Chain A
Amino acid sequence: MFDMLLLAGRPFPMHFLFAYIDPGSGSIFVQAVIGGILASIYAIKIYWQKLKSGLHGFKMRFKGSPKK
């Protein structure tokens, strides 16, 4: 499975990294592999929260409107 994830990763240009600590090649590669997946989950989470707060606001407005 991990090999599949490696293949799914984009080809990255090689550069020297100006970090004073060793970030670890494996750690950087894992970040690159999971970056897209986590960003998708994060986007869904943000939109879900926006939708929920929007629905909540609508519900409150509906509840707060005077009864006829």
Chain B
Amino acid sequence: MVSKCGLRDLPRNSVEKIAASFRDPSGFVFRRGGILYRQVNQVFSDNYRLLIDSGLHADLTERGALIQHEEVQAPPAEKARAFKVIRPRELAFISYPYEWCFSQLQDAALLTLDIQETALRRGMSLKDATAFNIQFENGRPIHIDTLSFEAADSGPPWLAYRQFCQHFLAPLALMAWRDPRLGRMLALHLDGIPLDLCCQLLPHRAFWHFHRWIHLWLHNVGQKRIRHSKALRAPASLQQRLALVDSLRSAVTSLQHRRVSSHWSQYESARPSYLAEARLSKESIVSEMIASAPNGLLWDLGCNTGVFSRIAASHRAQAVAIDYDHDCIETLYRQIRKEPNTSILPLIIDTTNPSSALGWAGTERMSLRERGPAATVLALAIVHHWAFGNNLPLPDICRFLASCTDHLIIEFVPKHDPMSQLLLASRQDIFPDYSPHHFEQAMLEHFELCRSVALPGSERVLYHFRLRRGSQPATVTRQE
């Protein structure tokens, strides 16, 4: 992994091997003294030289398709196997395929195919095609594994063909033909969705496309029939390899996500709880509060279509826009990928059930909290959803937020607010402790108040809290 996520204060010379980097014998990623390195093993030396000498590395990094690195003289983590140590450029935040919307996964698939085509034309090939090798930076996908390349030999068209179909094509087909929320299945199947499961779930009309039929249906039949045969080495020409990439590209681009109009994606435009003036005022206050918080990673919890993430991005290096609604994230991603430079990373995460640690020994893929803490968290108009929609007590909400960040900008929506009343309309009010007073008391257990502002035209209040460092709770003074 190439990320600053989960960075802890480590002793200067201690070596921490990154838990996700164990499958490929070509090398691994480790951290020493807080700096991220990748060890290239002897076994990969020929392929590494070919990657550099063929010009493939320079070509891909110049296009922004592959992460840049520099060769360094740092001591390797495992000297006996080491060939070189490289220092990859670190990303601000690592995301996972099960947190992406349809278009993010589709763009990641197309980048993988573009890289494979470029590699083939330079005598190399991708030896794996896992979606975990792709990350998002500046609104665009980027491949982060420098050791994924090998010399294209006389074997079959693509050894990573099955992996590509399971990691990209199968989930994309399910998202396009059934429901975009099925992208979450990638959290259950970390090595991609099995093709037999995919084919069972897809409607028959999904296979009425020649390339989809080949790579999903025929591929699945082939897997079932040729299960016990020894591995086969079919001599493939460059033309056949390029043809396979072209066919996969046709299958990927044939899939479209059409519905981008969920209740929540329309929420900003049809929101009845704000007048135009109040909305402008809220944007202005939030902007001031963000400006007064320290620079760094910002999480926008319940970002909707990212209005406040955009404000945050104008102040920050990286804003991670988090919402559980697929269509909100899809809408935001489609907007930001048109922009030349953006620092917003939209992700589908349910804040009441955030991504947990997954994979081997429960450490391979980091939980959301392990990828923190964020320098600042925005939690605007979400507390009432947590409290009334999920029965979350205020002290629990505050404890969770305190574990995520040092600076918290939060909007409290009182019980009399029309949106709170909407949530309570069909249920019993079992929340006697949901009040501004209890909220402030719960917050002050963990945070100290920097500033609070009542939003004009409503009873809502915006707060800026800073994580408390072992002092007693302070009294709240509100700026009207």
Contact = CB atoms under 8 A, between A and B. Distances in A.
Contacts of A43: 239, 243
B214 interface: yes
Contacts of A13: 233
A52 B243 CA distance: 20
Nearest to B24: A20
B218 interface: yes
Interface in A1-54: 2, 6, 10, 12-17, 19-36, 38-39, 41-43, 45
A68 B100 CA distance: 61
Contacts of A31: 156-158, 161, 234, 236, 244
B225 interface: yes
A36 B223 CA distance: 19
Q: Say which size band chain A's interface belongs to.
A: 20 to 34
B23 to A, nearest CB: 7
Contacts of B244: 31, 34-35, 38
Contacts of B165: 27
Interface of A is mostly: helix
Contacts of A27: 161-162, 165, 219, 222-223
A33 B240 CA distance: 11
A26 B48 CA distance: 30
A46 B59 CA distance: 23
Given A19-B159, A20-B128, A23-B159, A14 B243 contact: no
Which of the listed residues A28, A31, A42 has the most CB atoms from chain B within 10 Å of its own CB?
A31
Contact of B231 (A10, A16, A30, A35): A16
B223 A28 contact: no
A32 B156 contact: yes
Interface string B151-179: 00001111111110100000000000000
Given A10-B234, A35-B236, A39-B239, A20 B223 contact: no
A42 B128 contact: no
Contacts of A14: 230-233
Contacts of B226: 25-26, 29-30
Nearest to B210: A41
A12 B164 CA distance: 23
B127 interface: yes
B354 interface: no
A64 to B, nearest CB: 33
Contact of B162 (A23, A38, A45): A23
Interface in B217-261: 218-219, 221-237, 239-240, 242-244, 246-247
B55 interface: no
A42 B162 contact: no
Nearest to A20: B24
> Which of B165, B222, B235, B236 has the most CB atoms of chain A within a 10 A radius of its CB?
B222
B294 interface: no
A33 B236 CA distance: 11
Contacts of B156: 23, 28, 31-32, 35
A31 B155 CA distance: 11
A33 B247 CA distance: 14
Contacts of B242: 42
A39 B235 CA distance: 13
Contacts of B33: none
Contact of A21 (B160, B231, B246): B160
Given A15-B231, A20-B128, A39-B237, A26 B223 contact: yes
Nearest to A10: B234
A32 B232 contact: yes
Given A12-B233, A25-B231, A41-B247, A36 B240 contact: yes
A45 B225 contact: no
Contacts of B240: 35-36, 38-39
A39 B232 contact: no
Contacts of B128: 20-21
A13 B24 CA distance: 26
B359 to A, nearest CB: 15
Given A14-B230, A29-B232, A43-B239, A19 B127 contact: yes
Given A2-B218, A10-B234, A42-B243, 4 more contacts: A12-B234, A20-B23, A34-B214, A41-B247
19 contacts: A13-B233, A14-B230, A14-B232, A15-B231, A15-B233, A17-B233, A19-B160, A20-B127, A24-B223, A25-B226, A25-B227, A30-B222, A30-B223, A31-B158, A34-B218, A35-B244, A38-B246, A39-B240, A42-B242
Interface of A: 2, 6, 10, 12-17, 19-36, 38-39, 41-43, 45
* Pairs A-B, 10 closest by C-beta atoms: A42-B243, A26-B223, A30-B222, A27-B162, A32-B234, A26-B226, A38-B243, A26-B222, A15-B233, A35-B240
